[in-house]
A and B are shown apart, each in its own frame.
Chain A
Amino acid sequence: MRTFAHHVAVDPAEAVTLVADDPSARFLAGGSNLVDHLNLGVVEPGLLVDISRLALDGIEETSEGGLRVGATVRNSDLAAHPVVRRDFPVVAEALLAGASPQIRHQATTGGNLLQRTRCVYFQDVTTPCNKREPGSGCAALEGYARHNAVLGASAACVTTHPSDLAVALAAVDAQVVVLGPDGERRVPMTQLHRLPGDRPADDTVLTHGELITAVELPGDRSAPRSAYVKVRDRASYAFALVSVAACLEVADDTVAEVRIAWGGVAHRPWRATRAEAALRGTRVDELDEDAVRAAADLELEAAETDDRTAFKVPMVRNTTALVLGRLIGEVAR
Chain B
Amino acid sequence: MDREIRLTVDGEPRTVTVDVRTTLLDALRERLDVVAPKKGCDHGQCGSCTVLLDGRRHLTCLKLAVSADGAEVVTADGLAADGTLHPVQEAFLAHDAYQCGYCTPGQVCSAVGLLTESAGEDLSDDDIREQMSGNLCRCGAYRGILAAVRQAAREVRR
Contacts and interface: CB of A to CB of B under 8 A. Distances in A.
Interface in A189-219: none
A31 B62 contact: yes
A100 B106 CA distance: 13
B133 A6 contact: no
A102 B20 contact: no
A39 B43 CA distance: 8
B129 A236 contact: yes
A106 B1 contact: no
A102 B64 contact: no
Contact of A101 (B19, B21, B64, B114): B114
Interface string A263-307: 000000000000000000000000000000000000000000000
Interface class of chain B by DSSP:
mixed
B58 interface: yes
Contacts of B89: none
A38 interface: yes
Contact of B21 (A1, A32, A50, A106): A1
Contacts, number: 83
B134 A102 contact: yes
Interface residues of B, number: 31
Interface in A63-94: 76
A28 B114 CA distance: 27
A35 B130 CA distance: 25
Interface in B61-114: 62-64, 66-67, 110, 113-114
Given A3-B21, A4-B1, A101 B117 contact: yes
B143 interface: no
A99 B135 CA distance: 12
A6 B66 contact: yes
13 contacts: A4-B1, A5-B20, A31-B62, A31-B67, A32-B62, A39-B23, A39-B43, A50-B67, A100-B134, A101-B114, A102-B134, A105-B56, A235-B130
Interface of A: 1, 3-6, 28, 31-32, 35-36, 38-39, 48, 50, 52, 76, 99-103, 105-106, 235-237
Shortest 5 CB-CB contacts between residues of A and residues of B: A100-B134, A236-B133, A6-B20, A237-B133, A105-B56
